[in-house]
Chains A and B, each alone.
Chain A
Amino acid sequence: MTDPTHPGPEAMMGSTAGEFVVPSAEDQAAVAEVAGLDKPHSLGSEAWWQMRRRPMFWFSAGLIVLFLLMAVWPSLFTDADPRYCDLTQARHKPSREHWFGTDIQGCDVYARTIYGSRSSILVGVFCTAGVALIGSIVGLLAGFFGGWLDALLSRVGEIFFAIPTLLGGIVILYSFPSRPDTPYAIVVGKVVLAITLLQWPTIARIMRASVLQVMPHEYVTAARGLGARPGRIIVSHILPNAVAGVIAVATINLGVYIALEATLSFLGIGLQPPAISWGIAISEASRMGFLTSAPHMLLFPSVFLSLTVLAFIMLGEVVRDALDPRLR
């Protein structure tokens, strides 16, 4: 296991995993004395060095940057208003004017596909953030303190873990339906909450396992011996060394959450129109009659959805490989 107590210069520059490997100066001194190790690279900087050698990283990162741009700044890609639909132009094949054709209402499929990325990215990012946050905290507490707290948190996690995510999502969202005049943020928020609620135990388990792995190390014992409080031990020693697995899995899961959102929206209970989302677009376009009369309606949102999910899963794999020395 790489010791993070002597961060190299690259890590200080704030690369992908830079923040969590920077311990406070006095701790560095304290632990360095005990451990007596002297390595030039931190976990983060080494991972970064590993990742940038791989073409898959650049490919997936490029795609993700592209989709992020779409989500943040869709007007960069299209001038068309995704909500402007002209029924006289319904179901046109892709053309110079409408690159991806038009849908049954005569809306521009290209514009709707570009604008649809925002919902997917928002759901993906917020779910990942929520799951990582809740999961990490629960996992840290359970692993670090052990005993009855561990038993309690683990059992609670298992309860949620036992609920199939899709089924649970349907039940939750069906119980709290959105109306068409519900603000966009709340519509998205409900989906995020539902997914977060059902997914956090995955991360909590990973975190707990990592914590248990890190706990017996000498630098933890040393910090304890020097009288450090639990809070400091967790933040300075446990978390930085246990977080790698969480980051890798969370990145992979980001893609999974996006797919889950699309599935729920496809079933008509995730995001609701007038929100624009790929899941809704796919649901609309996959009615039997339209498969023959307007297949492009289904094709483009599906391709974009697949690419986004693929990009995040590929990035997640690269990150996992880079963070886990055993895989090298």
Chain B
Amino acid sequence: MRTRIRALSAAALVAAALVATGCSSGDPTPGPAGGGEVVLRGCTAQNPLLGLMTNEVCGGHVLDVVTSQLMRYDAETAAPVYDIAESITTDDAQLFTVKLKKGYLFSDGTEVKAENFIRAWNYGAYAPNGMAQATFFEPIAGYADLQCPGDDCDANKPPKEELEGLQQVDEYTFTIRTTEPTSNMELRLGYTVFAPLPEAFFADPKSAEFGRTPIGSGPYKVTSNTATEIVMEPNEHYTGAFKGKVDRIVYRIYDNDSSAAWADLLAGNLDFNDIVPGDQLVGDAWIAELGQERTVVRTSGTIEVLTVSPNDPQFKDNPKLRQAIGQAIDRETITREIYGGSRTPATGWVAPVVDGYLADQCGKACVYDPVQAKIDYDAAGGYQGILSVSVNGDGGHKDWAEAVCNNLRNNLGADCIVNLTPDFRTLLNQARDGELMGLFRNGWVMDYPSIENFLTPIYRVGAASNYSGYNNPEFESTLTQAAAATNLAQANELYQAAEAMLAQTYPTLPMWYRTTPAAWSTRVDNVVVTKMGWIDATQVTVHQP
């Protein structure tokens, strides 16, 4: 009897559900777009889900829809469009007046006001708070006063707690004054680090709870966050222009293995995957399997580099050795054989999708010449002992890393081995803590479409993503000049000059520019892959059964 009652009640539930959703069981046409659940491939975020902390894509993909900023980047062109900002005006590229839209709400129902920006940015820039992304606030006047004297926050407190360059005019207006003229300020303001933070955050800024289920002003909010998946549901208070279509976004975490996610995509358990395993790329097997209509290869603002460990004594002050290693890597063959042509050999440190890109900035280290490489390698003293190339095991990087090692072994006689870390977070943590020797992988997905974004956050002293420990005063001053340049051509020229300086010491060896090969399930439509190489989760829709 018991089973029968269950069966009956299940049938009643289904019937009720059908009535509720307005579907009749005989309806052959798909229902209206909207609703449903999409499952996206995810990875473990390194830091709490806070724009001020998140400088890697695993957490960034979640924040993309959970926060909103003054600007938002268009999915197709990555051009910035107004989001929370009603307008941003400036006469001299140094004093910006920001007017906010009224009635823009956080997911807890409180309104986004000028104060939420000012307090969030002050908090982010104030060094004792230890926010990883603090250097993004560097252009704003008074940033230096929020840093700890002697970089020792235990002993010395910064002289001020608030950025002098931020002034509230009224509830919905504030001004940003930069130390130097900053021509691309508007462009930068769409990055998640510049998101406003609600009152609730400041009540307890160190709250682990906020880092797990943050309160943002984006179209979605995080409703649950576990080690295996992050679930997002619509922010019912959202009034912005980028409202999402689906009722539930599941960010399912796949670590260790890119083929598990791929198998799930084929089985229909995963709706979107932006990592195609190496074996599928061979001969475009993945496109043959899924068809053109479920796949796309998107040119994105992404570059992959091998960072020379700043802690490795053998590489210290030995640019010739670094160059010889770069020269011995056959990027052309690796991109063709391992990646089926879905990567383009890099000839510089800036991806070709941005304005200001200049080819061949990297010089000799990016041109394959095994004979010269061997001569230079020996002249530079060679690498003694085991040279490790560290990559994360969850991103499908093992194959190319092995190919690189084979190049170094065959062409230079270096004793090269591949060191796999279980996930991306581990790789970044080990890199940050200086545990990695030899070479390690770093990828850079642009935060905003600018040549500047490929240089400042990665090679400036103190930047969170400066894993190579690059420190060159001349480079710094050129960046400052470039930021201050009044016209774009002049700015680009200065940025290019700064980029060229990297070729003097090779803190990193450019490998290739990535395209993002992405695939999706039969359940979803309107899949738009952005220039940042990720799905625009606000546009995707699900077929109604």
Contacts and interface: CB of A to CB of B under 8 A. Distances in A.
B388 interface: yes
B283 A293 contact: yes
Nearest to B281: A289
A205 B446 CA distance: 64
Interface stretch (A82-90, A258-266, A311-319): A82-90
Contact of B418 (A87, A88, A273): A273
A91 interface: yes
B334 A87 contact: yes
Given A87-B330, A105-B403, A290 B417 contact: no
A66 to B, nearest CB: 29
A180 B417 contact: yes
> For chain B, what secondary structure do more than half of its interface residues adopt (helix, strand, loop), or is it mixed?
helix
Given A104-B399, A274-B417, A289-B277, A86 B282 contact: no
A292 B278 CA distance: 13
B426 to A, nearest CB: 12
B11 interface: no
B286 interface: yes
B522 interface: no
A88 B333 contact: yes
B229 interface: no
A179 interface: yes
B168 interface: no
B403 A87 contact: yes
A105 B419 contact: no
Interface in B185-204: none
Given A86-B410, A87-B337, A289-B285, A181 B280 contact: no
A287 interface: yes
B337 A287 contact: no
A162 interface: no
A86 B370 CA distance: 13
Contacts of A107: 406
Given A83-B409, A87-B337, A290 B282 contact: yes
Given A104-B338, A104-B399, A105-B406, A289 B286 contact: yes
B277 A287 contact: yes
B402 A288 contact: no
A137 B2 CA distance: 58
Contact of A288 (B280, B283, B386): B280
Interface residues of A, number: 23
B23 to A, nearest CB: 36
Nearest to A272: B420
Interface in B257-279: 259, 262-263, 277-279
A119 B388 CA distance: 23
B279 A180 contact: no
A281 to B, nearest CB: 13
A251 B399 CA distance: 38
Interface string B304-347: 00000000000000000000000000100110011000000000
Nearest to B337: A90
Interface string A286-324: 011110110000000000000000000000000000000
B282 A179 contact: no
Contacts of B418: 180, 273
A55 B403 CA distance: 46
Contacts of A85: 403, 406, 410
B277 A87 contact: no
B280 A88 contact: no
Contacts of B406: 84-87, 105-107
Interface string B475-516: 000000000000000000000000000000000000000000
Contact of B280 (A83, A86, A179, A289): A289
Contacts of B334: 87
Contacts of B282: 91, 104, 289-290, 293
Contacts of B280: 288-289
A287 B388 contact: no
A265 to B, nearest CB: 14
Contacts of B283: 293
A288 B265 CA distance: 13
Contacts of B386: 180-181
B279 A105 contact: no
B388 A105 contact: no
Interface in A133-175: none
Interface in A57-97: 83-88, 90-91
A243 to B, nearest CB: 43
Contacts of B330: 87
Nearest to B330: A87
Given A105-B403, A288-B279, A289-B277, A87 B286 contact: no
Contact of A181 (B262, B337, B388): B388
B386 to A, nearest CB: 5
Contact of B285 (A83, A87, A273, A293): A293
B389 to A, nearest CB: 9
A293 B279 contact: yes
Contacts of B333: 87-88
A42 B406 CA distance: 57
Nearest to A287: B279
A107 to B, nearest CB: 8
B259 A179 contact: no
Contacts of A290: 279, 282
B285 A179 contact: no
Contacts of A292: 285
Contacts of B410: 84-86
B388 A180 contact: yes
Interface string B226-260: 00000000000000000000000000000000010
Q: Which 6 A-B pairs have the closest CB atoms?
A: A289-B279, A287-B279, A180-B417, A289-B280, A85-B406, A289-B285
Interface of A: 83-88, 90-91, 104-107, 179-181, 273-274, 287-290, 292-293
Interface of B: 259, 262-263, 277-283, 285-286, 330, 333-334, 337-338, 386, 388, 399, 402-403, 406-407, 409-410, 417-420
8 contacts: A83-B409, A85-B406, A87-B338, A91-B337, A181-B386, A181-B419, A288-B280, A290-B279
Given A104-B338, A287-B278, 10 more contacts: A83-B409, A86-B406, A87-B406, A104-B337, A105-B406, A180-B386, A181-B417, A288-B262, A289-B278, A289-B279
